[in-house]
Structure 1
C-alpha cells in the first residue's frame, strides 16, 4: 500500500465507460497482502525502502516462503460466507516479487521460493467457484528492477521520489532507454495477468512515483480493456481509473463517483508477528456502515502468514462482521447512500427504489430515535433482523418545514449489541427538506 493520500479518478481518459454494476453493490471486499514479507513479519516492501531491515535480509525471505498451507478454496469459502463480493490479492508489490510464473523478469515465487508454484491461478479459480469477483493488486513501481531508477518525476510529490536511490537515478542523470525497458516489463506483466487470469478488477499502486505520461497510462488502459473491456480499474490508474481509494479512515465527505475504503483489520496490511491491535467487531461494523452509508465499499485487509493461513483473530473478526451483515442484509445489498449528515445521528442506507430508509444505531436507543427533515409519509417502522414493528409519530412542523419523526426505541432481543438497524418504510420515494427553516 501507499503512504499518502489517493487521487480521485476522473474517467477512462477520453473514452469514459460506465462503472460495472457489480462494483457499487458489492459493499464488502477482502484485501490480501500476501508475499515473502510474511516470513519475517515486516512491512511489505517498505521495510527495505525505509531501511528498517537491510535489502539483503529482506530478500532472504525468499528462502523461507513455503505457502505450505495455502488453500485458496478455504479463503474463498470464508470470504463468501462473511458476505464479501470480491477479493484483491497482491499479485506483485513494490518489492517486485510476483506470485505467478511471469515470463517478464525472473523474480517470482515459482522459481525462487520453496512454494515453487503459481499462487494466482488457484486463487482466481477458487473465487469464481464461490461466485466472488477476482481482483489483483499490482504495483506500477518495482524497487528491485534494475531499470526502475532511471528517470526523474517532473513534479516529484515528495523528497523520497526525488532522491531515494531505489526510485531516482544517481545524480539525476536519466536513461530513457532503461525506462522504456521498464515500462515494457510492467506492461508485459499486466498483460499476463489479464490474459491468464482475466481479473474483474485491477488494483494498481505506486503511481505517485512517476507522472501519468511517464507511466504511459493511456496505452496501459487501452491494453487492459482490449484484453477484457469489463475490467474495473482503481484510481491509481490516474485519469483512467474508475473509482477512488481512500485508505485507513472514512472520509468526512464521500469522493465523487464510486469509491472504496481500504482498511486493515489491525494496523498492518500484511502479516506482522507483533501486531495484535485487532479492531473489534463493533468497530468494523461501524466502519462498514459508515462507508456504505456514504455510497462506498469497504475493502478490508487481512494478512496471511507465509504458509497461507489467515490468523485466527482476523478470521474471528471477519466472521463477526459477516454475522452482522447476514442479519441485516436488506440494509446492505441493493442499497445506495443514505441520508446526509444531520437528519439522523448515525449512518443510513436507502433502498434502490428510494422507498425504505435503514437507520443504523450504534448504541442501544433510549426512549426514541429521531429522524428530521422527512417529507414523505411513513407507512411503518420495523427492526431489521427481527421484524418487530415500532410505534412512531411526527411532532411539530410548520408550512414547508416538516416535523420530527419520533420512533419508539426497540428493546430486548430487538437490540443488536454491534448496531441496531431500523427500517423506515415510506409511502412514496424519499423526499427530504434541506432548508434553513422559517425566517
Structure 2
C-alpha cells in the first residue's frame, strides 16, 4: 500500500476529542442534530493547480499539493499563484442553491487551509484573496449571504495549527522574512487568533467553526480560540478537531462511515470523489445511490454526514458531482422523514437489503436491494406492528406482513417503486424493542463484519491507511492469530438449509481457514490471500432448523500471522 500511516500517527494529527447545526433562529446545535446532512467545500489557491505542477500530475488530495509529500512547492513559488487566481465562474448563489437542492442544511467552507492562504478579506495577513489576486473579492461574504437567502446555515473551516507559509506556523517556516527565529506564539498572536476573530465577527451568525489537525498544539492556544468563538458566536458549535476535549462533538476519520452505532454527537466527513480539493484527473464520483447509502448509514448509526465538493480554480463546480447531489436531493425531498430529525437504528447496524432510521414509534426501512421474490425479511423486532406502508413520494400504500420465528415478513410488489431507494414506513405500538442479532437473510447475501465478532486468542483492532496520499481507507480486522484463536459470530436463521460461506480477508500467500457451526458442521478450505481484502469461498454449511447459532472462524494453517479477517458472508443455496 502506498503512503501507509500508522493509526496512532493519524490520531495525533487529527487530534480527535469531544463532548448536532441550526438555522439562524434555532437553538445551538439543533441544525446539526436534526438536519443530519451538510456540504463541505475545499477551495483555495491549490484548486487552480488541480494536482498538476510543471506538467506532472500528483495523485492524492489537492489541498496538500505544496507539501513535500506531494509536489513540494517552495513558498515563494506557491505564493505567486495568487497573482493568477481569478475565479470568474464562482457563483455563491448557485452553490447555495445546489446545497439546498441536495437536501443539505448548512455549508462549511475553507476560510484558511494548511497553505495559509485566506479565502476572505483578512487584515491579519496580506496573503489573502482580496489583497493578492486580480479577482480581489471576498467570496465568503457572498456565500454567507447566499446561504441565508436559501435558509441554510453557514460555517468556516480553519486550520488553526498548521500554516505552511507563515513564520512559526505548524510545519511552516521557522524564521521570518528578516531571518529572525519565529515561534508558534508569533504565528498564533499575529495571524491565527486575529483571523478567528475576523471570521467570527464579519459574516453574521455562523453555525460552526471547523478546526482541523491540532497535532501537538498546546491546550492554552486551543482554549483561547474556543473562547473567541463562544464570545462572538455563542450559538456556534466547535468541531472536535479543535483538540484537547474542547470541541462540542466528534468528527470521525476522513471518509469514514461507521458500521455500528456511535454514541454521542458526531459527524462523518466525506467527499464526492477521492480528493477534497479539485484534482483534474479525479472522475470517480459517488453515484446518487451511493450518496444516499452513506448518508442513511450515518443517520442510522446516530450521526451527521458532511459531504464535500471541490470547485475548480475558476470557481465552477464539476457538473458530475453536482448532478449526483441534485438527484440524491430529489429523493430526499420525497422522503425527508427518513433523514431529518430521526434517531439511530435499534438494530445498531445495516441490514442485508438496506438500513433503518427511527422517528418516534415509526420505523423507516430504506430498501437499497429490492427483493424480487416480493418478500422482505426483518429480524429481531419485538414491538407489535400496527400498520405498514410502502411509500411512493408523499403517498403510502398499505402492505401485508406476517411473523415467523421472531422475524417479520413484508409482502411487496416484485418491482421496486423507486429508482434509487424504496421506503417502507412501519408504525409500532410503542418504542421499538429489537434484538440486534444478525439475521441471515434467506434470499440476499448477508455480510457480518469482523468488528461484530467476539474474539479470543487473536486481536480485533481498527487500522487506517492511504492508497493515494490523503485518500483514507479503514477496516476493523481480526489479526495476530494464535493456534487457539477464533472469531465468533452469532446469527439468527429463519430458513433452515444450506448456506454458502465466504470470508473477506487479506494476508500473504497460502492460508487455510476453518468455519465451525457450534453443535454442527465444520468446514475448512485453503485459498491464496490478497492485500486488499478480496472475498474467498470456503464452502457450504447446514443449519438444520430455524434459530440462533454461533459460528466460529479460525485461521488454521499458512501465514496466519499475516492474516487479516474483515468479514464473513452467508448466501442461501437456492
Would you say same fold, with TM above 0.5?
Answer: yes
- 2:96 aligned with 1:96: no
Partner of 1:190: 196
Q: What is the CA deviation profile of residues 28-55 of structure 1, one whole-angstrom value per residue up to 9, with x for unaligned ones?
A: 1111111111111024441121241522
Q: After TM superposition, give the deviation of residue 211 of structure 1 in Å.
A: 3.1
- Residues 242-251 or 38-47, more deviating: 38-47
Q: Write the distance in 1 (CA, Å) between the matches of 2:129 and 2:436.
A: 56
Q: After TM superposition, give the deviation of residue 357 of structure 1 in Å.
A: 0.5
As a proportion of its length, which structure holds more helix?
A: 1
Q: After TM superposition, give the deviation of residue 416 of structure 1 in Å.
A: 2.0
Partner of 1:314: 321
- Residues 379-388 or 283-292, more deviating: 379-388
Q: What is the CA deviation profile of residues 366-423 of structure 1, one whole-angstrom value per residue up to 9, with x for unaligned ones?
A: 3311222222111111123341221101123xxxxxx2111113333x4323222211
Q: Write the distance in 1 (CA, Å) between the matches of 2:350 and 2:324.
A: 30
The answer (yes or no) to whether the contact 2:271–2:307 under 8 Å persists in 1 is: yes
Partner of 1:270: 277
Distance 1:51 1:20, change over 3 A: closer
> Which 5+ residue runs of structure 1 have no aligned equivalent?
12-17, 150-164, 397-402
The answer (yes or no) to whether the contact 1:245–1:259 under 8 Å persists in 2 is: yes
Q: After TM superposition, give the deviation of residue 205 of structure 1 in Å.
A: 1.1
Partner of 1:236: 241
Q: Write the distance in 1 (CA, Å) between the matches of 2:381 and 2:218.
A: 45
Q: After TM superposition, give the deviation of residue 232 of structure 1 in Å.
A: 0.7
After superposition, residues 270-419 of structure 1 pair within 5 angstroms as 270-341=277-348, 344-345=351-352, 346-351=354-359, 353=360, 355-367=361-373, 368-385=375-392, 386-396=395-405, 403-412=406-415, 414-419=416-421
Partner of 1:421: 423
The answer (yes or no) to whether the contact 1:138–1:203 under 8 Å persists in 2 is: yes
The answer (yes or no) to whether the contact 2:256–2:270 under 8 Å persists in 1 is: yes
Q: What is the CA deviation profile of residues 310-361 of structure 1, one whole-angstrom value per residue up to 9, with x for unaligned ones?
A: 111111111111012112211111211113246843321000x2x1011122
Q: What is the CA deviation profile of residues 99-142 of structure 1, one whole-angstrom value per residue up to 9, with x for unaligned ones?
A: 11111111101011112111111111110111100011100121
Q: What SS does the corresponding residue of 2:157 show, helix, strand or coil?
A: strand
Q: What is the CA deviation profile of residues 220-256 of structure 1, one whole-angstrom value per residue up to 9, with x for unaligned ones?
A: 2112101121111111112111122222121233443
Q: Write the distance in 1 (CA, Å) between the matches of 2:431 and 2:414.
A: 29
Partner of 1:52: 71
Q: 1:148 aligns with which of 169, 172, 195?
A: 169
> Which 5+ residue runs of structure 2 have no aligned equivalent?
20-26, 52-60, 438-489, 491-546, 550-574
Q: Write the distance in 1 (CA, Å) between the matches of 2:147 and 2:348.
A: 37
Q: What SS does the corresponding residue of 2:134 show, helix, strand or coil?
A: coil
The answer (yes or no) to whether the contact 2:301–2:348 under 8 Å persists in 1 is: no
After superposition, residues 198-237 of structure 1 pair within 5 angstroms as 198-208=205-215, 210-213=216-219, 216-237=221-242
Q: Write the distance in 1 (CA, Å) between the matches of 2:213 and 2:15.
A: 12
The answer (yes or no) to whether the contact 1:81–1:322 under 8 Å persists in 2 is: yes
- Residues 245-254 or 74-83, more deviating: 245-254
Q: 1:4 aligns with which of 5, 10, 14?
A: 10
Distance 1:430 1:135, change over 3 A: same
Q: Normalization by structure 1: what TM-score?
A: 0.85
Q: Write the distance in 1 (CA, Å) between the matches of 2:423 and 2:77.
A: 50
Q: What SS does the corresponding residue of 1:260 show, helix, strand or coil?
A: strand
Partner of 1:28: 37
Q: 1:73 aligns with which of 90, 93, 104?
A: 93
Q: Write the distance in 2 (CA, Å) between the matches of 1:166 and 1:145.
A: 6
The answer (yes or no) to whether the contact 2:84–2:133 under 8 Å persists in 1 is: yes
Q: Write the distance in 2 (CA, Å) between the matches of 1:307 and 1:409.
A: 49
After superposition, residues 125-164 of structure 1 pair within 5 angstroms as 125-140=145-160, 141-148=162-169
Q: After TM superposition, give the deviation of residue 168 of structure 1 in Å.
A: 7.3
- Residues 87-96 or 47-56, more deviating: 47-56
The answer (yes or no) to whether the contact 1:8–1:243 under 8 Å persists in 2 is: no
- Number of positions where the alignment pairs a residue of Structure 1 with one of Structure 2: 402
Q: What is the CA deviation profile of residues 132-184 of structure 1, one whole-angstrom value per residue up to 9, with x for unaligned ones?
A: 000111001211001225xxxxxxxxxxxxxxx63779xxxx96x73222111
Distance 1:421 1:168, change over 3 A: farther
Q: Write the distance in 2 (CA, Å) between the matches of 1:129 and 1:286.
A: 29
As a proportion of its length, which structure holds more strand?
A: 2
Q: Write the distance in 2 (CA, Å) between the matches of 1:8 and 1:53.
A: 27
The answer (yes or no) to whether the contact 1:364–1:415 under 8 Å persists in 2 is: no
Q: Write the distance in 2 (CA, Å) between the matches of 1:264 and 1:433.
A: 34
Q: Write the distance in 2 (CA, Å) between the matches of 1:243 and 1:275.
A: 31
Partner of 1:14: none
Q: After TM superposition, give the deviation of residue 284 of structure 1 in Å.
A: 1.3
Larger Rg: 2
Q: After TM superposition, give the deviation of residue 297 of structure 1 in Å.
A: 1.5
Distance 1:383 1:118, change over 3 A: same
The answer (yes or no) to whether the contact 1:30–1:299 under 8 Å persists in 2 is: yes
Distance 1:278 1:380, change over 3 A: same
The answer (yes or no) to whether the contact 2:260–2:348 under 8 Å persists in 1 is: no
The answer (yes or no) to whether the contact 2:15–2:213 under 8 Å persists in 1 is: no
The answer (yes or no) to whether the contact 2:259–2:349 under 8 Å persists in 1 is: no
